Amino acid sequence: MCGAVRTAMVPRMSTAPDPARVHSAPVAFDPAFARALPVFAPGSVWLVGAGPGDPGLLTLQAAWGLSQADVVFFDALVNDAVLNFAAPAAELAFVGKRAGCPSPKQSEINARLIDAARAGKRVLRLKGGDPYVFGRGAEEAQGLVAAGVPFRVAPGVTAGVGGLAAAGIPVTHRDVNQSVTFLTAHDASGGLSARLDWAALSAGSPVLVVYMGFRLMRVIAEKLMEAGRPASEPAAIVAQATTPRQKVVRTTLGRLAAGEDAGGLEPPVLVVVGGVVALAPVLGVGGYAAPSDEAGG
């Protein structure tokens, strides 16, 4: 969804809020509790993780920061409901990236964060999941350091852990795996990354969690099988994790390579490969009423 549409869905006043406001946001913080939270100083930037989708998984520090921010720069994967934690007078600015939609360059986003902070605003950069997990948060932090702008990182629940848990898939289980690998298969251009060592991934990690792999899941599965992973290995596709639109498709690596099970799914999508997927039928009853399909037969 392009920025103009997102902005229209969450209209906000563009005027500067009262710097003295404290509890004007939808979530009111007890004053004694609020004193234990970090001060959001004017002229600073918070890099905040919005979690995997469900606004209930937002951290207290993230909700507090949203309630105090003068301007919120948010990404495409941020749930609209999370934006409602922002103060009514906060300015909301969409800076997300979506295939087929115009999107700002990273250097432009960095410049906007710096300019807003230098204007004396409390600037909150809101990212899906965790800002430092495939979210370019570290690049933005480097830009802030170079510009001498003070910043804080508020970690969030990353989709590769929280999103899979909501699908009944634990990333680790003592009887299944002692390690897990998180990866994104595409490079900065959106194509398959040439920097991935498929042989090492195939042989070295019993569980693989692929972020942003929707368009490339067939070639990812092919690469893993070429490197030695069996076609019968359990795999799953988790779409729209932790939201009412969550859908879980349990399948195999071979069926992923054949492109047989992705129909009707919409990003954001996680792909997980490994024995922990077999636990989903038992553990998938734990909290998220989302449709689940067993692929193939």
Residues labelled catalytic:
75, 97, 212
- If one counts every other C-beta atom within 10 angstroms of the C-beta of residue 227, the result is 14
Residues 237, 116: Cα–Cα separation, whole Å: 39
- Neighbour-count burial of 110, counting CB atoms closer than 10 A to its CB (0-12 exposed, 13-18 middle, 19+ buried): buried
Distance from C-alpha of 248 to C-alpha of 245, rounded to nearest angstrom: 10
DSSP reduced 3-state for 282:
helix
Report helix, strand or coil for 135: coil
Q: How is 9-76 classified by DSSP, letter by letter?
A: HS----SPPPTT--S-SSSPPPHHHHTTSPP--TT-EEEEE-BSS-GGG--HHHHHHHHH-SEEEE-T
Largest Cα span, the chain = 62
